[in-house]
Amino acid sequence: MRMIDFTVVSPEGTERRRGGADALREAAGATGEDGFVWVEFDSPEPQVLKDALGALGLDRFGTDAVRVVHRRPKVETVDDAALVLIKTVWYIEATRQVETGDLVIYTDGSSLVTVRRGIVDPAAAVRDRLADASFRADGVVAVVHGLFDAVIGQYDGAVEDLADDVADVERAVFSGDRTDRNEEIYFLIREALEFQNAVQPLVPFAHLLRQRRATTPVFKRERFGVLAGHLIRVDAAIETCMSLLTTVLTAHQGQIGAWQNDDMKKISAWAAIAVVPTAIAGIYGMNFKYMPELHWKAGYPLVLLLMAVVCFSLYRGFKRNGWL
């Protein structure tokens, strides 16, 4: 028999239990309207998850949302039941990387199954709050709301760290330092895009929650409208980071073009200056028999003086025009 760990929540408190699918089904049936059963999984075996969902009548969605890694966030509803896949996010500031995990929620308002993947555990804070009788009194709705609140709270910290790194790159680009930062900017754009992909698919659902148009009873509570507004603001902040990074990248590529143009000007100017002594030396190196200047006592210093004057004049002209 495959064993399942679950928590029975009632007005009197919580009780951790362990048993098979039949024990889970029996516990869920005995809780009544004032209690519920919560099953938590962390990378479960597919058959164990299937047994738990079947025992609670939540098997209509299947297990694909859990088995397939890196699925996009989504919300599915069937009658009064809902499947919600949301992404947990954490930001590694040392490497400027956005990492994501998954939290899958199955609920019909009277029982709850959650499956987590990744280092962020939003259920930890919710488990602690179950000690509060007023929190337990709201049933499954309170737990689902607490899970959403914990995940979106993690978004806040991650988007702040991302925005700080974007601001650092922006300052570096416009600091006057001639350093190619294309790779750094592209890397941040990729991380911001990963963050955006974790949040943006839930924005249409968030708008439904704000407008109180959710069809599943568990999401019809007013408290979810506040969370929806929070999620929409996070999405707007990520979009601002993306827009700023795109602008900085365009400006930086323009800078690099200007740097290359300046370099070409300097190369061309020095080449033009070098042509003068080269040409004069080439003329006097042709060894013609009749070159009167070769026999003048002042011929050599005059030629050197001529080269110096012409080169200096060219240098001043290029300098005045900003080529050197």
Position with higher pLDDT, 143 vs 304 = 143
| Among candidate residues 35, 222, 28, 218, the one with its CA nearest the CA of residue 136 | 35
Please report which helix (H) or strand (E) contains residue 106, including its range: strand 97-107
293 has a pLDDT exceeding 80: no
303: Cβ contacts below 8 Å, ≥ 6 apart: 280, 284, 293
Domain boundaries for CATH 1.20.58 within the chain: 265-320
Rounded Cα gap, residues 269 and 290, in angstroms: 34
Position with higher pLDDT, 293 vs 216 = 216
Structure confidence at residue 63 (pLDDT): 65
Position with higher pLDDT, 299 vs 118 = 118
What angle is formed at CA 205 by the lines to CA 202 and CA 207, rounded to 5 degrees? 110
166 within 8 A of 240, measured Cβ to Cβ: no
Q: What is the pLDDT of residues 221-258, one digit of tens each?
A: 778 888 899 999 999 999 999 999 999 999 988 888 88
156 has a pLDDT exceeding 80: yes
* CATH tag, 265-320: 1.20.58
| Among candidate residues 190, 195, 185, the one with its CA nearest the CA of residue 250 | 185
Structure confidence at residue 64 (pLDDT): 65
Q: What is the mean pLDDT of residues 93-100?
A: 85
Helix, strand, coil % (nearest 5) of the chain? 60, 15, 25
Structure confidence at residue 239 (pLDDT): 94
